[in-house]
Structure 1
């Protein structure tokens, strides 16, 4: 597991929390930030997956 995979998963997790908190409180801006963090995390994790595959 490389740095990008770890950071990507962490961003996804933070995004999930923000999304849920925004949904629970009716804060649409926080919810949108959460969804954006989730996407960013998925992209970074996928990039890390590709790097790992190329390395192996």
Structure 2
């Protein structure tokens, strides 16, 4: 996993956590769901990159 990919995935995870937190604070279920989805995407990308790194 390149440093650029790690930074992008971390940023996506942080954005997702922020959306989830703001959604919880404002009782906005849509924003909570978007935040969780962002975090899931970041986790999936990280897992995929970890698999690639394993086989290098």
In the superposition, the TM-score normalised over structure 1's length comes to 0.82
CA RMSD of aligned residues (A): 1.4
Shift of 1:38: 0.6
Aligned 8 A contact 1:6 1:45 in 2: no
Runs of 4+ more than 6 Å apart: none
- Report 1 or 2 for greater relative contact order, CA contacts < 8 Å, sequence distance ≥ 6: 1
TM-score by length of 2: 0.82
- Counting matched residue pairs gives 55
**Contact kept? 1:22, 1:30, Cα under 8 Å:** yes
Q: Where do 5+ consecutive residues of structure 2 fail to align?
A: none
Partner in structure 2 of residue 28 of structure 1: 29
Q: Which runs of 5+ in 1 are unaligned?
A: none
